[in-house]
Chains A and B, each alone.
Chain A
Amino acid sequence: MARVVIENLVKTYPEARGPAVRAVNNVCLTIEDGEFMVLVGPSGCGKSTTLRMIAGLEEISGGTVAIDGKVVNHVLPKDRDIAMVFQNYALYPHLSVYDNLAFGLKLRKFSKVEIDLRVREAAALLGLDPYLARKPKALSGGQRQRVAVGRAIVRQPKVFLFDEPLSNLDAKMRVSTRAEISKLHRQLGVTMIYVTHDQIEAMTMGDRICVMRDGLVMQVAAPLTLYNCPGNLFVAGFIGSPPMNLIRGTIQPAQDALQFVETSPASSPATITLNSALAARAAAYTRQPVVFGIRPEDLHDARTFPPGSQGATINTRVDYSEPMGAETLLYLNTGATSLIARARPTDRFEPGQQVEMTCNLENAHLFDPATELVI
């Protein structure tokens, strides 16, 4: 059980030519005791490097990592009381499942009885009992990953680190293993730090999510907060599948209200009259560029938009639709911007058809295109 505090963490890689590359740039992050923290971001955003610095597998170029109040920058990985699960499982191929689980304990000079107890306990927890005598090669991907998790469990570490542990599993296995890891977190109640590039994993597993880009922390928040109140354009576009629709335009005054007018070469650009809440925020941006953000589920067919809600209607043309069964994804075009809307599975749309779509303004967002921050 431990609290992990990361302060101004920096990782630089020397480049043969040119300045050093900053893979991790002044990351500050506090992971509370027992928390499930997910680091998420696109490839090369520095999430794995951050995790590896916590593990001690990468040298820290600047800043500190503290586990339970103790700075561990110069503590050997084995003495940090952490356990890590790797993407490629990293099982010892020449050892049986039992020995894989027992290996770390043997090295730490645990008694045979204690080792056996812990191994059997972990095996029971993960349903590995029938496979204890097998070599990793005789296991499926999901089973191997369970062994890798088991190897972490038997150590009873303060902090669990996961480095994209589900990436090598097939889609079905990924969903079930995801649930298993979440369950494990509830059972063990220990601090877990989990790196993934898959935002669905992040959303479903994390107590809090840390979204990273280019070595910087973009936002740290609970999953739904990230989804409903993204702090910046990057988070808005990264979290959610399909992603949030982002329309570039300007704020224009119109009679006694403010309007968002899409930047478009077309003669009649999409125009959205802002509701009072949005208008209050947008007031300072009059005649200035902004980005209007609306999630696919907040873009409704105007004919079915519930009356009484605050909506604004724009004209769009259907590019194509993707029936997914439970819903239909509608790919639309305003003439300058491509949009995605979630439509009911029963609705039929033909490519080229003109559709009036209503934005649910209560869930709309405005961003400053210069700072990329939410307005």
Chain B
Amino acid sequence: MPHLVSRQRGLREWRLYLLIVPSLLLVGTFVLLPAVNGIYHSFSDWDGTRAQQLVGLDNFRRAFQDTILWNSFETVSILVVFNLFKMIPSILLAVLIHRLRSDRWQYAYRALMVVPMIIPGLVTLFVWKSFFDPNLGLLNRVLDLTGLKWALVSLDQRVFHWGVFFPHVPVGWLTQPELILPSLFIWGFPWIGTVGVLIYLAGLQSISQEIYEAAELDGVGSFGKFLYIELPLILTQVRLNLLLLIIATLQGYGLQLLLLGESGGPAGKGMVPGLWMYNRAFIAGEFGYACSIGMILFGFILALTIVNNRYVRVAK
């Protein structure tokens, strides 16, 4: 009797829906409501107080003529490309750990990967800020001690004529406009993303030992195993990391805020959309305009995610 079955199932589902109501309420109140609120405010001239007026598309019209905003999108695009390069060390490290013969060491390294997670991100940022310090920072000292500084100065003066590196003058990593982007690239060296490594490792561990052995019989060498087996088989994980990374880069501005300040450093070279949104809201008090920047950013990320899902296909 199909009717009876479907009624029973309906009843069961009805109870299940009831179970998710509390979490739905919480998510609704603290996540969805502010987001919807943001959409509403993006059409207003809200300045953070109660008084506000709907201004239609004014905020968006303004945004399209806002050169700082578009420059910040350019900057963030460059950062995304940087971060693509920064994925490589994590993949290599994951493969190296995976190839360790001793299970015990493999476990130890995996555990070691988790340790950095207990350090708050803010602390890491402060540590890096101190690294970049012209006089006391680790970076300049390493450059001096290794002679790399000398090499940079020679390159600057004889080949490229950047006008950035001078003998006996400490490099102002975060104060010279030309060095802002390179600094943001260097940041996080050697670019080991611990979560990334663990995600790759999970993918690598699902490759059966027999596949490695079959490859060995086929005559695949050590690098060949990486190229023909490991890399293709963790592409799903790489894609996931890629997506997370792009979204994080597009949204993020904590790094820029902390290293460069609320105006994006000298000449605004480090200005990213998120920071500009923050700047407009909390420095200029233009909350309505900040909301519209947020909406534009949202659209941007959504579009990229769709593209990523559709075109960066990986066989599962």
Which A residues form the contact surface with B (CB < 8 A)? Answer: 55-57, 77-79, 82-84, 86-94, 103-104, 107-108, 135, 151
Given contacts A93-B233, A94-B233, A135-B315, contact A104 B218 (CB under 8 A): yes
B210-A107 in contact (CB<8A) = no
Residues in A neighbouring B233, C-beta threshold 8 A:
93-94
- Give the 5 A-B residue pairs with the shortest CB-CB distance, closest first: A78-B219, A90-B210, A104-B218, A90-B214, A94-B232
In the bound assembly, the distance between CA atoms of A182 and B240 in angstroms comes to 46
A86-B232 in contact (CB<8A) = no
Residues in B neighbouring A92, C-beta threshold 8 A:
211, 214-215, 228-229
What's the nearest-Cβ distance from chain A to residue B111, in Å?
Answer: 21
What's the nearest-Cβ distance from chain B to residue A43, in Å?
Answer: 17
What's the nearest-Cβ distance from chain A to residue B200, in Å?
Answer: 16
Please, which residue of chain B has its CB at the minimum distance from the CB of A84?
Answer: B217
Given contacts A90-B208, A94-B232, A94-B315, contact A84 B224 (CB under 8 A): no
Highest count of chain A CB atoms <10 Å: which of B208, B217, B220, B228: B217
Please, which residue of chain B has its CB at the minimum distance from the CB of A95?
Answer: B232
Residues in B neighbouring A103, C-beta threshold 8 A:
218, 228
Dominant SS at the A interface? loop
In the bound assembly, the distance between CA atoms of A103 and B232 in angstroms comes to 14
B210-A55 in contact (CB<8A) = no
Interface size in chain B (residues, C-beta < 8 A):
18
What's the nearest-Cβ distance from chain B to residue A59, in Å?
Answer: 12
Residues in B neighbouring A104, C-beta threshold 8 A:
217-219
Give 12 A-B pairs besides A56-B216, A77-B217 with Cβ atoms closer than 8 angstroms: A78-B216, A84-B213, A86-B210, A90-B208, A90-B211, A92-B214, A92-B215, A93-B315, A103-B228, A107-B219, A107-B224, A108-B219
What's the nearest-Cβ distance from chain B to residue A168, in Å?
Answer: 11
Residues in B neighbouring A88, C-beta threshold 8 A:
208, 210
Residues in B neighbouring A77, C-beta threshold 8 A:
216-217
In the bound assembly, the distance between CA atoms of A82 and B213 in angstroms comes to 13
In the bound assembly, the distance between CA atoms of A137 and B70 in angstroms comes to 46
Residues in B neighbouring A87, C-beta threshold 8 A:
210
Which B residues form the contact surface with A (CB < 8 A)? Answer: 208, 210-211, 213-220, 224, 228-229, 232-233, 235, 315
Residues in A neighbouring B208, C-beta threshold 8 A:
88, 90
For this complex, 13 residue pairs linking A to B, each with C-beta atoms less than 8 Å apart, are A57-B216, A57-B217, A82-B217, A84-B217, A88-B208, A90-B210, A90-B211, A91-B214, A92-B229, A93-B211, A94-B315, A107-B220, A108-B219
Residues in A neighbouring B315, C-beta threshold 8 A:
93-94, 135
Residues in B neighbouring A55, C-beta threshold 8 A:
213, 217
A83-B217 in contact (CB<8A) = yes
Please, which residue of chain B has its CB at the minimum distance from the CB of A55?
Answer: B217
In the bound assembly, the distance between CA atoms of A108 and B219 in angstroms comes to 8
What's the nearest-Cβ distance from chain B to residue A187, in Å?
Answer: 22
B213-A57 in contact (CB<8A) = yes
What's the nearest-Cβ distance from chain B to residue A294, in Å?
Answer: 42
| CB-contact partner of B218 in A56, A78, A93, A135, under 8 A | A78
Residues in A neighbouring B217, C-beta threshold 8 A:
55-57, 77-78, 82-84, 104
In the bound assembly, the distance between CA atoms of A86 and B210 in angstroms comes to 7
What's the nearest-Cβ distance from chain B to residue A199, in Å?
Answer: 24
Residues in B neighbouring A56, C-beta threshold 8 A:
216-217
| CB-contact partner of A107 in B211, B213, B218, B232, under 8 A | B218
In the bound assembly, the distance between CA atoms of A92 and B214 in angstroms comes to 9
Residues in B neighbouring A108, C-beta threshold 8 A:
219
Highest count of chain B CB atoms <10 Å: which of A77, A87, A151: A77
What's the nearest-Cβ distance from chain B to residue A17, in Å?
Answer: 16
Residues in A neighbouring B210, C-beta threshold 8 A:
86-90
Please, which residue of chain B has its CB at the minimum distance from the CB of A83?
Answer: B217
A84-B219 in contact (CB<8A) = no
Residues in B neighbouring A93, C-beta threshold 8 A:
211, 233, 315
Residues in A neighbouring B216, C-beta threshold 8 A:
56-57, 77-78
Please, which residue of chain A has its CB at the minimum distance from the CB of B211?
Answer: A90
Please, which residue of chain A has its CB at the minimum distance from the CB of B208?
Answer: A88
What's the nearest-Cβ distance from chain A to residue B231, in Å?
Answer: 10
Please, which residue of chain A has its CB at the minimum distance from the CB of B218?
Answer: A104
Please, which residue of chain A has its CB at the minimum distance from the CB of B224?
Answer: A107
Please, which residue of chain B has its CB at the minimum distance from the CB of A104?
Answer: B218
In the bound assembly, the distance between CA atoms of A94 and B267 in angstroms comes to 48
B219-A86 in contact (CB<8A) = no
Highest count of chain A CB atoms <10 Å: which of B216, B219, B220, B235: B219
Please, which residue of chain B has its CB at the minimum distance from the CB of A94?
Answer: B232
What's the nearest-Cβ distance from chain B to residue A143, in Å?
Answer: 17
Given contacts A78-B219, A107-B224, A108-B219, contact A84 B232 (CB under 8 A): no
Please, which residue of chain B has its CB at the minimum distance from the CB of A105?
Answer: B218
What's the nearest-Cβ distance from chain B to residue A145, in Å?
Answer: 13
In the bound assembly, the distance between CA atoms of A84 and B233 in angstroms comes to 22
Residues in A neighbouring B224, C-beta threshold 8 A:
107
In the bound assembly, the distance between CA atoms of A321 and B303 in angstroms comes to 71
What's the nearest-Cβ distance from chain B to residue A295, in Å?
Answer: 38
In the bound assembly, the distance between CA atoms of A84 and B208 in angstroms comes to 16
In the bound assembly, the distance between CA atoms of A88 and B207 in angstroms comes to 12
In the bound assembly, the distance between CA atoms of A89 and B218 in angstroms comes to 14
Residues in B neighbouring A94, C-beta threshold 8 A:
232-233, 235, 315
In the bound assembly, the distance between CA atoms of A89 and B210 in angstroms comes to 8
In the bound assembly, the distance between CA atoms of A78 and B222 in angstroms comes to 13
In the bound assembly, the distance between CA atoms of A77 and B216 in angstroms comes to 7
